[in-house]
Structure 1
Amino acid sequence: MPHLSWSDQEEVDGGGSRSNPERFLGQNYEELQRDFVKHRARFIDDKFPPNASSIGEGLLTSSELEQVEWIRPTKLVADPQLVVDGESRFDLAQGELGNCWFLAAICAITFQQDLVDEIIPGGQSFREDYVGIFHFRFWRFGRWVDVVIDDKLPTIDGRLIFVHCKTCNEFWPALLEKAYAKVCGSYADLNGGLISEALCDFTGGVFLSLALKENHPEHWNLMYRAKKYKSLMGCGSHHGATSANTALPNGIVEGHAYTVTGVTQVMSDGQPIKLVRLLNPWGHKEWNGDWSDRSPLWGSVHKEERTRLLDSKDNGEFWMSIKDFCISFANVEICCLSPAFLDGSSPESWITARYEGQWDEKTGGGSMERTQSFWTNPQYRVKIPAIETHDGDGQGFNLLVSLMQKPNNRHRRHVHNEHIGFSVFVIPPELKAQKVFPAQFFSSSAPVARSKGVSDSRQVEEFLRLKPGYYLIVPFTYKPNTPASFLITLYSK
């Protein structure tokens, strides 16, 4: 099994790299910290002020907003701590905000201490040189950003409104949520989303969105390999017919994000049983069917293994069979540093190329239906070498194309996503030296691969299996002359 560290992949050491992140909104944590220590003052963030604008519209009623008081942890409890006994997936309790997608991602990162240490930089506390300022780091559209916040948290009647810790004097989840709310525009901008978005913003990694199918033989194998490669995983339950977040009789909450915390196989009466462990970020409401905490099926498992795997606490975490998992959940999101988990290959056998680009009146040619303008879209080349592929579990995938559109508004809920996609063409050997391919090339060449249609998602990606040779990748918006910026990342074997 390869050792993967979230610190292993380093971008060019310039602004926006892991080691040198951009200062979000120009705020320099070190300078601000020194300045407020020198003047013995408490920091108040004028870029994300402790008032109704930072909570956002539509989240609280006007009467609730009038009751909100922004209080520092030092005023809430006698002995505030950033972290108590390490960051744990069981620390969290969701507040009055529909951001289970974000909380499920937080639970996932607690399994990777090196990743947690990047997101929550060290040297921060409520004791030494405390002036009410903290900072956190996220990956945003190709660049790492360092986000400064003050520690004033929104409360009503002395209680935190949004995410909080079960340990009353531990505040890392609440402050991390505030920093992410600042990045996205407000707390209201975190209301609703996909776990893949948060996993990507926490890691800058590759992600695979897998639509689950009942009795599919490969789903568990892929998840098992992904776990061996230290991947982060989450999943979403099916949406209900009426409203989201309704608990079914079997304990599964409809339209809800969960963290995948374990993938294993046990022997039950001599038969192998494939299991998946999940965590409801609410910290309660668990599956109560086969292989749940109190299922009699655990009596058929060897005592030592049962003791190692089973925890009967009502903490939101539970096991279920892969069969029940695929029935109860719609999709699983897998995020890792490298696509190597697909086929069990070495992470070093994959290389990455990342490009920033844009569509405008000159480079927005629209989809292939626009035969005369399609060629004006940005064009990118990739070489697929002749190498031995693993034609087993990974299905011989040797290229991942990821196309992410950048936001046109700081406020996440006001971002307008265009319908985007990409097409892949073979470059004939005699045209290897061609710099720009004209309309005639595309009118006589059919794509050998493409994204699954066009989508207004933040990101579209496809794992491809291509023969050795040279290829042209053309990202596009469905409508021509549509102004938008994008990030395209190519992972090739």
Structure 2
Amino acid sequence: MKEEGRSDSLFEDPDFPAEDTSLFCDRSTPVVRLQGSITWLRPQKICLAPTLFPDDINLAHSKQGLLGDCWFLCACSFLLKNKHLLNKVLVPDQPQWGDRRYRGSFKFCFWQHGCWTEVIVDDRLPCINSALCFSRCHSLSAFWVALLEKAYAKLHGSYERLWAGQVSEALVDLTGGLAERCSLRDCGSEVEQRAPQDSGQVRKRWLDLQHLHPVRNQCALSCSTNDSPEGYGTYFYKQVFFFFLFCLFVSHLMTCLTVTGACEPGQYHALTVMEWLDVDRMSGDKVQLLRIRNPWGRCCWGGVWIESGVGWNSVDPSYALELQSRATEGEFWLDEGEFLSQFNDITVGYPITDGGHLRSIYSGALLTHSHQLAGRWTRGHSAGGSRNSSSYGSNPKFWLRVCDKGEVVVSLLQQERRRNSEKFSQRCLQDNKNTKHQHYQAIALHMWKVDKKRFSLSRMLNKPPSASTHCHTYVREAVLHEELEPGHYLMIPSIYQPGLEARFLIRVFSSSPTTVSALKMPATSLPLPTEGEWETSNFQGLWVEGRTAGGSRNFLSHRQNPNFPFTLCDESTVTPEVNVRITLQQNRPDTDLLPIGFHIYKLSEGEPTQTVPKDEEPVASCVPHCYTQDVCLACRLPPGAYTIVPSTYQPDCSASFTLSLACRIHRKVVKSQERLGRTIQEISHISLMQS
């Protein structure tokens, strides 16, 4: 890989170098054909007077190059319409070329899983024949798009990882807001009812275009065609790519870096809705017109509203000329009927005010209240699967309290699974048609309205949810929108298949006051052997305020807690297996639980059995303290004297509890020829029937 125009005084990013490692990840896309042909140049080596933005804002829009990242470029167009959002992504007042402070680096920020992440890159950009080979601005001297694309590629690990994606994901990464991908085709209520509630298929919410009227001039809008059989238009982009290469190597005119052949929407491709107007016809009625921008930088439509189309004959000539003049390079007009017939899906980004509040795309109402909580599905603990699974109740749970009736939007955002480049490359070569769900699990979110004081999880799960995302889908973010009455709601996020692990973020936006909190999960128990004989003892105890409610080890009063001594005999040394299991259960309703836990201390010879050892570290603990009915610990302890000290987390919390201690017993096997007689069998049978 060659690099030209290097200056030792300028920053060179060691984490995203000007090498093949920054270009390729799995070499499964046509980008790999560029290997050996790319040089890395700084903007001052590409043009005479580089700048971030041109004077004419129309020339600042992006133009797609040899990378299949139209989804990302559509989101970039939204930033140009909202300066307060652009300033969050591209930190303002950075030194540029010609500035004495310029050091060859630029700083960008992307929203990632709940917070803004800073990404710094140098300004060495991939080129072919001394011109940018990936995305650029319509102005050849403006470089904000190329630099933002490089920073986004660094965030993902390489340029190749930007090949194919969803506009909704890019919008969230660039704004920190919400975006939904909806179908423009009404599937009908009959199909909706037949669809399985917990299927693993992808199903998009249908959206009536008219619902967007209150926010149509404020939200981000992108339209797309159906996915191609190979996924995300791979076949189409391959054909375009080979045409690109032909242009590159036959001609040095870099205007060939965009498609010049004719092609109407037919494979997967994302475009941006720039303007949506109600236009008066001379006949007195109205027609809705939409101005569409194609990231390729050329017009790809031949309907009745093209520059010489017959549609303009129905509009006042002066107004028609004004509207036509708004369509710059790569843009075209079409009416609502054409729009609905040509595009299958629309991605809608929620409007974001200067103050950072989201506005509902369904009603236009301000969602002035917001919360977010992180969580994870863990195998063997909280990865319970879908409602088809008996372990569904073990999934993470969250309380949502709605104070007043209002509009609530809840999103479940899962963290992307990063691909292992080598393994993924091999898998792609074997089956290049099965890569659609490599990054994400099939997720869903269900919500039940409950009386928190009389809450029973098992009874609740037998009832239909009050609201849900209906089915598990392979998306990064599932969004639930509802008008909710005041009260408490239990939210349960899930992955379709039990045992699959992932991290996630719950976000709640509402027009009325709300609170969100996690429902504490019980401590994870170790697996216990089923064979062998156990001797179990049960003890009743009390935590009494001012006397025996000493709290956790964080407090000096910890030694005041009740303690329960026990002894393990020498015979327990014959096995390395678990020989003790302890369960602590608090006797309180589910709606008023205390955080509980316990410690096990070793007692020295001659030490009083009713005293907690001073300054002694426990030999085993069941912590952290959990808001749950019972906690359990299984462990192996050597012979000796011990005491168990159960506690609440805070001191002076009164409650009663039950402590169960099970010790493993090892008995010698005695060989015997005795057989059970008929009388014993009859007695056993009678006892069984009576019980």
Bin of the TM-score, shorter chain as denominator length: 0.7 to 0.9
Larger Rg: 2
TM-score (norm: length of structure 1): 0.81
**Does residue 48 of structure 1 match 2:48?**
no
Runs of 4+ in 1 over 6 A off after TM superposition: 214-218, 246-250, 410-414
What is aligned with 1:33?
none
- CA shift, 1:342, in A, is 1.4
Tell me the amino acid that sits aligned with residue 85 of structure 1. D
- Native 8 Å contact 2:178 2:349 kept in 1: yes
What is aligned with 1:36?
none
- CA shift, 1:78, in A, is 2.0
What is aligned with 1:225?
214
**Does residue 335 of structure 1 match 2:335?**
no
**Does residue 404 of structure 1 match 2:417?**
no
- Native 8 Å contact 2:60 2:142 kept in 1: no
- CA shift, 1:86, in A, is 5.7
- Native 8 Å contact 1:185 1:411 kept in 2: no
- Native 8 Å contact 1:139 1:145 kept in 2: yes
What is aligned with 2:148?
176
**Does residue 113 of structure 1 match 2:83?**
yes
- CA shift, 1:113, in A, is 1.6
What is aligned with 2:128?
156
Name the % identity: 28
Tell me the amino acid that sits aligned with residue 366 of structure 1. G
Tell me the amino acid that sits aligned with residue 354 of structure 1. Q
- Assess, with a 3 A threshold, how the Cα gap between structure 1 residues 70 and 303 changes in structure 2: closer, same or farther: same
| 1:41 counterpart SS class | coil
- CA shift, 1:63, in A, is 6.7
**Does residue 260 of structure 1 match 2:273?**
yes
- CA shift, 1:309, in A, is 2.0
How big is each residue's C-alpha offset from its partner over 1:424-478, in whole Å with a ceiling of 9 and x where there is no partner? Answer: 11212533xx6xx64x234433312221311121111121233432211100112
- Native 8 Å contact 1:215 1:323 kept in 2: no
Tell me the amino acid that sits aligned with residue 351 of structure 1. H
Tell me the amino acid that sits aligned with residue 389 of structure 2. R
CA distance in 1, matches of 2:329, 2:264: 13
- Assess, with a 3 A threshold, how the Cα gap between structure 1 residues 63 and 310 changes in structure 2: closer, same or farther: closer
CA distance in 2, matches of 1:478, 1:220: 31
**Does residue 351 of structure 1 match 2:369?**
yes
1:13-28 alignment runs, 5 A limit: none
Q: After alignment, is 193-202 or 233-242 more displaced?
A: 233-242
| 2:299 counterpart SS class | coil
What is aligned with 2:339?
325
CA distance in 1, matches of 2:166, 2:500: 25
1:147-296 alignment runs, 5 A limit: 147-213=119-185, 219-228=208-217, 230-239=218-227, 243-244=235-236, 251-252=264-265, 254-268=267-281, 269-296=283-310
Aligned CA RMSD, in angstroms, stands at 2.9
| 2:291 counterpart SS class | strand
CA distance in 1, matches of 2:128, 2:305: 40
- Assess, with a 3 A threshold, how the Cα gap between structure 1 residues 174 and 253 changes in structure 2: closer, same or farther: farther
* Consecutive unaligned residues in structure 1, runs of 5 or more: 1-38, 390-397
Tell me the amino acid that sits aligned with residue 224 of structure 1. H
How big is each residue's C-alpha offset from its partner over 1:217-260, in whole Å with a ceiling of 9 and x where there is no partner? Answer: 973423332224x2111111234578436899884353110001
CA distance in 2, matches of 1:424, 1:469: 12
CA distance in 1, matches of 2:420, 2:111: 17
What is aligned with 1:368?
387
- CA shift, 1:60, in A, is 5.6
| 1:179 counterpart SS class | helix
- Native 8 Å contact 2:398 2:492 kept in 1: yes
What is aligned with 1:122?
92
CA distance in 1, matches of 2:207, 2:103: 52
Q: Which has the higher contact order (CA 8 A, sep 6+)?
A: 1
TM-score (norm: length of structure 2): 0.59
Q: After alignment, is 208-217 or 78-87 more displaced?
A: 208-217
- CA shift, 1:67, in A, is 2.4
CA distance in 2, matches of 1:158, 1:119: 28
- Native 8 Å contact 1:419 1:456 kept in 2: yes
* Residue of structure 2 aligned with 1:382, choices 395, 400, 403: 400
What is aligned with 1:19?
none
* Residue of structure 2 aligned with 1:95, choices 62, 65, 87: 65
Tell me the amino acid that sits aligned with residue 79 of structure 1. A
How big is each residue's C-alpha offset from its partner over 1:82-101, in whole Å with a ceiling of 9 and x where there is no partner? Answer: 22216547632211111111
- Native 8 Å contact 2:393 2:461 kept in 1: no
- Assess, with a 3 A threshold, how the Cα gap between structure 1 residues 239 and 287 changes in structure 2: closer, same or farther: same
* Consecutive unaligned residues in structure 2, runs of 5 or more: 1-6, 189-205, 241-258, 353-357, 425-437, 512-691
* Residue of structure 1 aligned with 2:484, choices 450, 453, 466: 466
Tell me the amino acid that sits aligned with residue 310 of structure 1. Q
